[in-house]
Amino acid sequence: LLFCAMVGFAAALTVFWLLIVRDDSANLSGLRDEVPSSEVAVLVGDADTAIRRKYNYTLALEKLEIAVGLAPSNVAVVQFYASVLLAMGRDEDAFPHLRSVFYSGVSVARDSHFLQQFVLALHRLGRDAELSNVWPSIAKVPGLNWRTPLQCPDRVDPTLLEGAQPFPDSKGLRVVQVLSNSSDQIVAEFENFRQQPDWNTSKYFRPNQDNDLVLGNEPSRWTEMLLFDKGSWDPVACNAFATVCNTLGGLREVEGIVHGKRSGQVSLLKLEAGSNLVPHFGSVNWRYTAHLGLLTPSGVLMHAGGESRPFVRGEVLVLDDSFLHSVVHAGIGPRVTLFVNFFHPDTKPLTHDEWLHRQM
């Protein structure tokens, strides 16, 4: 995700400039690795803080516009500026800067986070011919392990690439079986929850942590109610959705750790009518996402890897979110799904205690 790629940017910025390997002989854009002035470093730091602490992309952009004016040839500043434009849905404005970074020939142009942003911009702008032209050079970047421009996550387990599909076969997936077997009870719990007059308010639903994916940069249009996050179940949310917590609690594919990372979250996701989630890639390819339909108006589609699926009440939709995916809500009223991150069936998740023991 774009936000994750930018977190901590300022802290590493000066080190990046001092340590990065120069390759100016291949520079086709005029951008260079430069040690920033103290004024530029402060502006970049302020922009980073605005995003990390306040999700304030508008303030970050203001700081970076000044920084780019002061250091227009500084490749790291330009890349950060472009990433914020992209996060704000200003793809057309971001693209010339992303292209300049790509053709700069410096090391950041081979960084996986940057390349993911460049590929995303090409997808979002429909520049298929240009993507086809640059893809061979992107695919050759050492350590990237991307086989197709439709599957470009931050991190890749290459053993799971063969046969990967955007909408995997759900047969034999324990999480899907558990959710399917309990779907009537879960839907009933949601309907009981929905009887509360304030159910559809910020008392329960907060802006999604990946709110930069909402077209138009309106965080209130895509919100979440967390049940499981950072290894812990929320007792208040579990009181309302006891079936969810009781059936998923204790499952390694939900609570475990693979490659040093937790699977993620269990939550209710609410997308308002008329909202779109822009095309994006998930962070890893060793995790799936399940979506149990709770409130599913017609006209809401998940697009992934060149395919599309609707959300159906009481049914589970499984997505490999390492593929390019987006959601379009052209229906009436909010769409609500139970969202579950869980590990790929060919992984071997560790419990937290087992993982800690291996670190010793």
**Torsion region of 247: left, alpha or beta (phi above 0 gives left; psi -120 to 50 gives alpha):** alpha
pLDDT at site 206? 93
pLDDT at site 215? 83
With a cut of 80, say whether residue 22 has pLDDT above it.
no
Average of pLDDT values for 62-68? 97
Q: Work out the angle at residue 141's Cα, subtended by the Cα atoms of residues 31 and 32, and round it to the nearest 5 degrees.
A: 10
Average of pLDDT values for 149-175? 96
Lowest-pLDDT range of 5-14, 70-79, 83-92, 344-353: 5-14
With a cut of 80, say whether residue 108 has pLDDT above it.
yes
- Across all residues in the chain, what is the average pLDDT? 91
Instruction: List the beta bridge partners of residue 137.
Output: none
pLDDT at site 18? 37
Q: Mind listing the pLDDT tens digit for each residue in 339-356?
A: 999 999 999 999 988 988
Tokens of 319: 């997505």
Q: Mind listing the pLDDT tens digit for each residue in 206-252?
A: 999 887 888 877 888 999 999 999 999 999 999 999 999 999 999 99
Phi, psi dihedrals of residue 17, rounded to the nearest 5° = -65, -35
Lowest-pLDDT range of 23-32, 84-93, 99-108, 248-257: 23-32
pLDDT bucket at 140, cuts 50 / 70 / 90: very high
Report the distance separating Cα 220 and Cα 275, nearest Å: 10
Average of pLDDT values for 46-73? 93
With a cut of 80, say whether residue 12 has pLDDT above it.
no
Report the distance separating Cα 338 and Cα 189, nearest Å: 12
With a cut of 60, say whether residue 15 has pLDDT above it.
no
Average of pLDDT values for 60-77? 96
With a cut of 60, say whether residue 92 has pLDDT above it.
yes
With a cut of 80, say whether residue 24 has pLDDT above it.
no
- H-helix or E-strand containing 336? strand 335-343
Three-class SS string for 82-139?
HHHHHHCCCHHHHHHHHHHHHCCCCHHHHCHHHHHHHHHHHHHCCCHHHHHHHHHHHH
With a cut of 60, say whether residue 42 has pLDDT above it.
yes
pLDDT bucket at 1, cuts 50 / 70 / 90: low
pLDDT at site 11? 45
Choose the most confident range, by mean pLDDT, from 8-12, 53-57, 80-84.
80-84
Average of pLDDT values for 62-89? 95
